[in-house]
Structure 1
Amino acid sequence: MRPRVTLKLATSLDGRIATGSGESQWITGEKARAEGHRLRASHDAILVGIGTALADDPLLTVRQPGLEHRQPIRIVMDSRQRLSPDSRLVLTARESPVVVVTVQLPAPSLLRAGVEVIQVHAGRDGRPSLNHVLTELRGRGLISLLVEGGGEVAGRFLRGDAVDRIEWFRAPILLGAEGRPCVASLELANLAAAPKFRRLSAEPVGDDLWERYDAVR
């Protein structure tokens, strides 16, 4: 058993989440971002990789009027516990739960700040084993997980066949090959091995397009 996993993407038309220099705020418009907050409120937990945590210093909270009471657990995949004690996630850990998933012994500085540190087995790449992570989260009673970024984390969940739904917000801009992709390498041997999804809907949200997909297994 594992949580139901939704991958949320906010990209340009050509599937980029940032410019080559890393600029990403804001690719999508205000209405799309509001829908993103509603997605957060509908999940038990929200997960990002340490790259996103370091680059954006996000809060990962629900900041939509009327939904402030529905705050998901905030999770960071952080093999070496590089999350700064001065980050907004750590500084607010006593207000809203923050979990760091690592392959190391828990860092005392994170524990003192009120962060829960989960040590899991390492996969072949030295990063947290995805199956072990999902088993641990389900064991803590988490039924739904929203994965928000970045490309490396999205790639890992897709490679592991662990994405059940995609919520994709596309902005009407193009960032080109130098932009940062929303999904890292999938290590595909051939086209037949590509993850497959069925489109449920596509609708405008402000100037952006919101597409929803379910996994085909």
Structure 2
Amino acid sequence: MRRGLELAALGPAVGDHARVGAVILSPDGEVLAEGWHKGAGTPHAEVDAMAKVDPALLRGATAVVTLEPCNHVGRTGPCAVALLDAGIGRVVYAVDDPGDQAHGGADRLRAGGVEVVPGVLADEAEAFLERWLTSVRLDRPWVTVKWASSLDGRAAAADGTSRWITGAAARQHVHEQRAAHDAILVGTGTVLADDPSLTARGDAGELLADQPLAVVLGDRPVPDDAAVRRHPRGLVTLPGHDLVAALRALRGHGVHSVFVEGGPTVASALVAAGLVDEYLVYLAPVLLGGPRTALDDLGVGSMPDRRRLHVLSTTSLGPDLLVRARPHHAAPGHDGPTNDRSTT
């Protein structure tokens, strides 16, 4: 199973699919073949692996898969049926598929006489597939909110200038994070004020291979000559102020993860609504003072209402510091608020 997770990591990190790996074993435990999912529309991992084996050797073999074999017809056929047709005798998998349509492959295999062993290295597979599993279970993309600020929490100087609070290393890390998400989201205020391109770029300004879908949230129209209209992945506009509906709409575009760079208005609204799964905060060793804070009102009236975070890591990026954090989950019996409504 651990080898299956290594294979899964070879697949594309972004896109409308889960990264899955598979290993086919003979009845004697010999590795017959390995496979992984190479992206939407391509054979799933177990089918990719079985295609590399003499069909006669598949009868009675074991398929080790990092995700429950699917049970639906999408861009490809159901993997559960392919395993049954091949005569596979045993299927071992790590995590149940949470999708309403795809789930049920294990039951179908059992009904066909296949021995099924679920839950092997489930914790490792859950961590590996965290963004995808979250998006399917909650019917919205995984939401990463990013901001850059001074040590005193200011995102801009008093006159509104914000370039550049952080240095080159931090800014390049931001571009890498853009490329690692399916979409990048800002509000119309950011588009009108800064005219961003919302692309993921390298050190020399070149476009990276993976580009996030550009998303603009809000009712004000995006100007015809806005840089974002020339985005290589295209532009999606989401009118209105219903954040849950907007995020669910992105699932219809195949978006499982979204990187939010929308300024304090959008970021604060997502935080207040309990819709943030992870924070990336880039802190520069400068002091600005003034009113232009990184976040607006969050509805915290007193200290007991504070929104507690769990810091996962701190990383030096040149002179700057990256703080990676997530909403705090209170332990059972804890008498303080969790401030984490993203899973309710």
Aligned mates of 1:80, 1:61 — CA distance in 2: 21
Q: How far did 1:149 drift?
A: 2.2
Select the structure that is richer in strand. Answer: 1
Greater Rg, structure 1 or structure 2? 2
The aligned residue for residue 170 of structure 2 is 32
**1:120-135 maps to which residues of 2 (within 5 A)?**
128-135=241-248
Matched, 1:15 2:127: no
Q: Does 1:89 align with 2:234?
A: no
What one-letter code is carried by the residue in structure 2 that aligns with 1:171? A
Q: Please, which of 192, 198, 214 is the counterpart of residue 74 of structure 1?
A: 214
Which blocks of at least 5 consecutive residues in structure 1 are unaligned?
104-127
Classify the secondary structure of the residue corresponding to 1:18. coil
1:153 corresponding residue in structure 2: 266
Map 1:95-114 to 2 at 5 A. Answer: 95-103=232-240
Q: Please tell me whether the aligned partners of residues 50 and 77 of structure 1 are also in contact (alpha carbons under 8 angstroms).
A: yes
> Which range moved further: 182-191 or 10-19?
182-191
**Deviations along 1:135-155, whole A, 9 cap, x unmatched?**
111232211010012001111
Q: Normalising by the residue count of structure 2, what TM-score does the alignment of the two structures yield?
A: 0.53
Identity of aligned residues (%): 40
Does the 8 A contact of 2:309 with 2:328 survive in 1? yes
Aligned-CA RMSD value: 1.5
Q: For this pair of structures, how many residues does the alignment match?
A: 189
Matched with 1:118 is none
Is residue 2:137 matched to residue 1:137? no
- SS in structure 1 at match of 2:169: helix
Shift of 1:21: 1.2
Distance 1:98 1:192 in 2: 41
Greater Cα offset, 19-28 or 192-201 = 192-201
* Structure 1 residue 189, shift from structure 2 partner: 3.3
- 2:285 aligned to 156, 172, 178, which one? 172
Asked if the contact 2:167–2:318 (Cα under 8 Å) also holds between the matched residues in 1, the reply is yes
Q: Conserved in 2, the CA contact under 8 Å of 1:161 and 1:195?
A: no
Instruction: Choose the corresponding residue for 2:310, options 176, 198, 204.
Output: 198
How far off its partner does 1:34 sit? Answer: 0.6
